[in-house]
A and B are shown apart, each in its own frame.
Chain A
Amino acid sequence: MIGKIIIYELKKRFTSWMTLLFIVMLIFQGFWYTKGYFDYYPNDGLLMNATAVSYMNLSACGMLMIIIVAIVTGTSLHKDLQYGTGQWIYSLPVNEKSFYVGRFLSSFFYNVLLALGYVLGIALLPYGGLAEAERFGPIPWGQLFQGFFLLTVPNLFLLTSLFFLGLVLTRKLAAGYIIIFGTVIIFLLMQTVSEGSGITPGLAIGDPFGYVATDGVTGQMSLAERNFSYLPIEGYLLTNRILWLSIALVAFLISYFRFNFKSFGNKVGSQKKTLRQVYTVPTENLKTTLVPHLSFTNRDFIKKLWSLAKLEFRNIIRPVSFKIIIGVIILMEVLQFLMWNASFYIGPTMPLTSTMTLFRLSFGVFIMMLIIIWSGELFFKDRVVKISAITDALPVPVWVTQFSRFLALSGMAFILAFTFMVVGIVVQLLTGGASLIEFGLFAYDMLGYNWGWLTYVLWIAVVFFVAGLTGNRFLTHILSVGALLFTILSFELGLAEQVIFAYAAVPGLEDYSEISEYGIWYTSAVWYFLMWTVAAIAFILLGIYFWDRGVGKSWITKLKFGGKQLNFAGKTTVVASIVAFFVLQSFIIKSVNKEGNFTPSAVLEERDATYERDYSYLADKAHPKYTHIALRFDIFPEERKAEYVAEVLLTNPSTEWIDTLFLNTKQAVSLISVQQEGKALALVKKDSIQHILAYAFDKAMVPGDSTRIQLKMKKQYTGFSQSGSEPQADLMANGTTGGIHEYLPVIGYCPDRELDENRIRSEHGLPKWDSRYPSVTDKKALQENPFAPDANRVTATITISTTENQIPFAPGRLVSTSEENGRTLRTYAISKPSYFNWMLGSKQVKQHRLAQGETQIVVLPSPKHPFNVDLYSNALKKGIHYLNLEFEGYPYKEVRLVEIPYYQGEFFAYPNGIAISEREGWYADTSGMKERGYIFQSTVTQLAKHWVQENMNIANVQGAEMLTVALPEAIGLQVLEKEMGEEALAQVLEKKRDYIGLHQANEPNKQPPLIYSDGADYLEPHKGAIALHELQKTMGKTQFNNLILAFIRESPEEPKVFIHLYQELLKEVPVSEKGKIKQLFEKVGPV
């Protein structure tokens, strides 16, 4: 019996064209996801069809597969309810339990067979033309099927069991959908949290699909293992599989025992008691009442529109199912706020409004899918309940009936968005954030077009259009949800970059800074929203125009301009909306692309590759270097403009004559004039694409010669940017921060522009790098420093003026503060030549002054973030004290710590200044030791960087960042241990190890041993710091510090190379520990 049912069901399904469509979709997903995961792991040696990539794909299942599973799983059982066939099928001589098992297994096998399309897509990838042949290994059939049977098949069993459980218990498909959505939400929650805070046992086991556990296993694999090896079934992965398979079995058994023909077999609705009537004789005379007054004015229709909208709205929100769904979402929202709390690297944050509104993004896809499905259901409601034959013949125009539904859905979406907002506010209140509530931000994010209510409305318009166009409910769901997922995944996987291709999206929606807020994206978003709004107007009107009243019309009839469902004004509005859409699009393209505010990464990469090809010859030429700068810098924040004049002393440190001054400028910088000793220099070359200008010196600079150059410049952004990678924070209305080379040109060759990922280098025909830093034997690099290619150490006076409400900051000692024409002026001086790694800007900040010995300390947090100022102050005091004590003195008498937007980078230490990202602790919840320790250690590290920069000449070769970053980190750890104890030290070290585990897998090139480290986030600040700390432990802190001091004292002018320091330190390591230390520094391995 079971076999017969399975064969019948599978035969029927496999003779449907939908099955073919699903398989094609899954093959496409196999291609698409593999490409996406491959791009996610930037390592050059990773094969595109690496087994690790396949395992990740097979565990995640993929959005398309989940949607398909949701669509097809329940129908085999539910169809008997839907069509009422259960009333006779269930009377056949079949055993009800066998029948249930047969239908269950047929659904499960169908899902499994469909999923083979996914495997096929992954397997066929090498033939897809996505990359060169060398990017692929042999098809790993064995590994693919191991992943399929270990990950995909159990996941499908889980989803099928849960769906059937929901269906058997409620007799409603909706229950199955909700369970599938719920499962996927748990999976996404686990996955997102693991990405933010590392893979914990709870996440690895709790993820229903085993994705996080698989990520944990593959993340620990070597490159060769990732490419070829089988997935070891052990540890958390094994536990995860056993747990979720057991849950699936339990779900199946419950549904098996609960299913019976009696309760399940009746047609939907028939379980309700049918009303009985007593026959009564009519008393009313029809003729006396049936001559009403009828009215069909436009005013009547508008009134009908409103009353219908209200009726439909009530019909949506009345049912218990709506309340259940909204309740589940609210529960998820509260859980996210309370349990996850948007942890960035630092950990949990204070209850800020921006963390509350993140819910709209983390659950945005599902809320949107829900709204889309709801919309599709409502637009087809009359057809589903088969009342359309009556309602379509009523004398009401289509625009009244359909648009009223659009309004009702918009109202429903508002209720959802508003509820999320209220829940956010309540949670903020309950978690002690009453004073931090920003109603404006709540409204902008939750109710506006920043993936809030208005975004929902824009997508409802799409459903409206698709419903009208197809006239098919099922197709409307598929196409609308598909369009949403396609848009989102295209961006997630990097297949699309321009927001102009993401319907209803606006720039910067994921890029809120607590300091700069949405910055330039406020302006961008308005224009994008306007563009999408006119598109939505066209969608709505076309939806009305195409909507089939009565029996469906042919395509030719639908597309005829003479259709009557839209009057002339309506048709004109459609045309006007389409024209307005393209006009706005052109304006946006002009403002974004043509103004240079956005360049697609492929174009940018090609431009940089061209730069390297065309201008790398400059690297071998001699160029003058900045020696002294007198800078007058006027910032006009509202205009996003800076006007500045730099009197620059250039020196020729080489042994060659220099006759040309090559200047590399940044986007939006205009070089108004370049004068040498008051006389304009002749422009001999201008490359507008690469932003290079070359000026001929009147008289060539001889070796050792110096000359004064006057640069008059302006930087101003026009138009607006379109993505998180272009915050343009170096000129921003509500606070500017930028590195010195954002404003002043780089002289000579700019190595920062070189492509540093080998995969991309080879794609552009450039030779691969062995290392991102020059070799330790590179003579030229040994004479350079890692901070700037065009300066060694520089002195300066910097005067910055800005608006009255902002405070200018710059490197150096504060010389004067004044006001001039309602503007604030500050002058800073760098008297002792310092490395050219400066940051400057102007901000609204609070000033907290304190002192440690002779050193004046100023802490400059955002006025919104007073939370952890004491922690930073304490760290600065303790750090300065420690350096004074152990390292012969902190180098500055004045130090300023400023909070900067997160997109500017994490930590900067420059003369007299420290800049720390807002996300590195300024609004962290520091109730835990881990967070307090992190803030303390990372702040002291910046002071130690000052000490290193001022006391050590560092060569620009491999290992440079072991000196500039890892060594200060290790000193930071020393101070942490001393001041906060071993527990704090252990927690910070654990955090560093987590970071390594999370990020070293993303090494795009080849991980070097620490003695040849070449600058990677996971390497020097984390792995290097831990290794140096381990090394220090072998000999004791005092000896370690003394050896460092001795290393500096020996030939102080000579550029230092880390490997030499390492060799000196190694000599003092006890023999018993030497092997371990050598392993740490000379080999690539775990720390």
Chain B
Amino acid sequence: MKLTIQHLSKTYPNGVQALKDVSLTIGKGMFGLLGQNGAGKSTLMRTIATLQDPDTGEIDFNGIDILKNPEALRRILGYLPQEFGVYPNVSAKELLLHIADMKGITQMGERNDQVEALLQRVNLYDVKDKKLGGYSGGMKQRFGIAQALLAHPQLIIVDEPTAGLDPMERNRFYNLLSELGENSVVILSTHIVEDVSTLCNDMAIIGNGEVLLTGSPMEIETSLNGKVWEKQINKSEYASHLEKYKVISNHFHLGKMLITVVADDMPDGDFYKKAPELEDAYFNLLFDRQNVMS
């Protein structure tokens, strides 16, 4: 089970080049696609989900040429778009049954079983007969997850899936996804680094339409072993540290600013070594990328 993307490029009519010669190979399991807003993640997701044609390139899933035969892919696809709506006057169960029918589950009994089970899994069972117009943002998101998982898809694409979910629901979704990843190719597009590091066994970082880095989260994390340093500073010192060091990120802790610096050696005595995280590798990459561009 493998998804192969080769030399995919897309330029919008307004001149924005959303994808630049993107090539990726994604195997069974969870694959994280990490990138900033506007990096081209959604364009790539839509293209894989047969909703957008690239200018050039090829996509193949298990021998299916997606661009030539989108219909075949749709039969095994589960797709949760970044933004979606629902019919407000229809209940969740009604709409899921309808989507299940569209996904090829022709037996009514089977359709019902599928829908009921998924409603349980996304914790919507008790409100399954309520109209979707009354659902909160998180409930709608869970509905979206349920519809994507209908009909046992072999390829699951989830674009920013945890947006609007509370921590408990987020965990529940992670569990569900990792369970599905055992038998399917799951592409998780997100800008939340933690989602990828928690779930994915493989990943790519995308920026300005290009694949910047691929590998397993572990490999990417360990590439910075012994090079990540952290220091607590006053806010007023930030500018001078920016000039002196490669500050890849900053954040506040108990009202104090903490900066993260990448360096082969300890920059000064006030720094302490930090075990590298995926987020550090991601910020480091973005830092390097920004420097190259400027």
Contact = CB atoms under 8 A, between A and B. Distances in A.
Interface stretch (A145-153, A280-288, A458-466): A280-288
Contact of A289 (B79, B102, B117, B139): B117
Contacts of B286: none
Contacts of A311: 98
B168 interface: yes
A291 interface: yes
Contacts of A272: 133-134
Given A277-B126, A283-B120, A311-B98, A291 B79 contact: no
B236 to A, nearest CB: 33
B188 interface: no
A393 B49 contact: yes
Interface string B61-82: 0000000001100110101110
Interface stretch (A486-494, A551-559, A638-646): A551-559
Contact of B179 (A286, A289, A385, A389): A286
A884 interface: no
A552 B144 CA distance: 23
B85 A289 contact: no
Given A393-B79, A549-B51, A295 B104 contact: yes
Contacts of A284: 116-117, 120-121
A553 B50 contact: no
B152 to A, nearest CB: 5
Contact of B102 (A292, A304, A385, A564): A304
A318 B114 CA distance: 27
Contact of B105 (A283, A293, A385, A393): A293
Interface stretch (A51-59, A129-137, A222-230, A394-402): A394-402
A275 B176 contact: no
Contacts of A308: 98
Nearest to A294: B104
Nearest to A548: B51
Contacts of A381: 87
B46 A292 contact: no
A272 B131 CA distance: 11
Interface string B82-125: 01111111100000001111111111001101101110110111
Interface residues of B, number: 64
Contacts of B83: 386, 389
B172 interface: yes
B243 to A, nearest CB: 39
A549 B149 CA distance: 21
Nearest to A290: B152
Nearest to A299: B106
Contact of B151 (A277, A283, A286, A292): A292
Given A292-B105, A385-B85, A549-B51, A277 B139 contact: yes
B52 interface: yes
B120 A557 contact: no
Nearest to A387: B85
A561 interface: no
A568 to B, nearest CB: 15
A315 B88 CA distance: 11
A295 B85 CA distance: 27
A158 B127 CA distance: 46
Given A275-B130, A311-B98, A269 B88 contact: yes
Interface in A552-600: 553-554, 557, 564
Nearest to B169: A279
B99 A394 contact: yes
B88 A390 contact: no
Contacts of A385: 85-88
Given A307-B101, A550-B52, A269 B106 contact: no
Interface hub of A308, A394, A396 (most chain B Cβ within 10 A):
A394
Contact of A564 (B70, B110, B130, B149): B70
Given A275-B130, A277-B123, A284-B120, A391 B53 contact: no
B149 A557 contact: no
B238 interface: no
Contacts of A269: 88, 133
Contacts of A430: none
B168 to A, nearest CB: 6
- Tell me if A's interface is mostly helix, strand, loop or mixed: loop
B77 A393 contact: yes
Contacts of A549: 50-51
B152 A275 contact: no
A397 B71 contact: yes
Contact of A294 (B98, B126, B147, B151): B151
Contacts of B144: 390
A392 interface: yes
Contacts of A394: 74, 99, 102-103
Contacts of A286: 117-118, 121, 149, 176, 179-180
A232 interface: no
B161 to A, nearest CB: 13
B110 A292 contact: yes
A273 B110 CA distance: 33
Interface residues of A, number: 52
Contacts of B121: 282, 284, 286
B135 interface: yes
A278 interface: yes
A300 interface: yes
Given A277-B139, A292-B151, A390 B89 contact: no
Contacts of A280: 123, 125-126
B136 interface: yes
Given A278-B126, A284-B117, A284-B121, A294 B75 contact: yes
A282 B133 CA distance: 24
Interface in A736-751: none
B15 interface: no
B147 A390 contact: yes
A207 to B, nearest CB: 39
A274 interface: yes
Nearest to A396: B102
B135 A550 contact: no
A318 B94 CA distance: 15
Nearest to B13: A554
Nearest to B172: A282
A440 interface: no
Given A280-B123, A292-B151, A296-B104, A392 B51 contact: yes
Interface in A533-552: 549-551
Interface in A771-819: none
B288 to A, nearest CB: 32
B67 to A, nearest CB: 10
Given A282-B121, A550-B46, A395 B77 contact: yes
Nearest to B113: A289
Contacts of A294: 75, 103-106, 151
A551 B85 CA distance: 16
B172 A275 contact: no
Nearest to A381: B87
A286 B13 CA distance: 43
A208 to B, nearest CB: 34
Given A274-B136, A284-B116, A318-B89, 17 more contacts: A277-B124, A278-B126, A279-B168, A284-B120, A286-B179, A289-B114, A290-B117, A292-B107, A292-B111, A311-B98, A387-B84, A389-B46, A393-B74, A395-B75, A550-B49, A551-B51, A557-B53
5 contacts: A269-B133, A272-B133, A277-B139, A390-B99, A551-B46
Interface of B: 13, 46, 49-53, 70-71, 74-75, 77, 79-81, 83-90, 98-107, 110-111, 113-114, 116-118, 120-121, 123-127, 130, 133-136, 139, 144, 147-149, 151-152, 168, 172, 176, 179-180
Closest 8 CB pairs of A and B: A550-B51, A386-B85, A389-B81, A294-B104, A395-B74, A289-B117, A284-B120, A385-B85
Interface of A: 269, 272-275, 277-280, 282-284, 286-296, 300, 303-304, 307-308, 311, 315, 318-319, 381, 385-387, 389-397, 549-551, 553-554, 557, 564
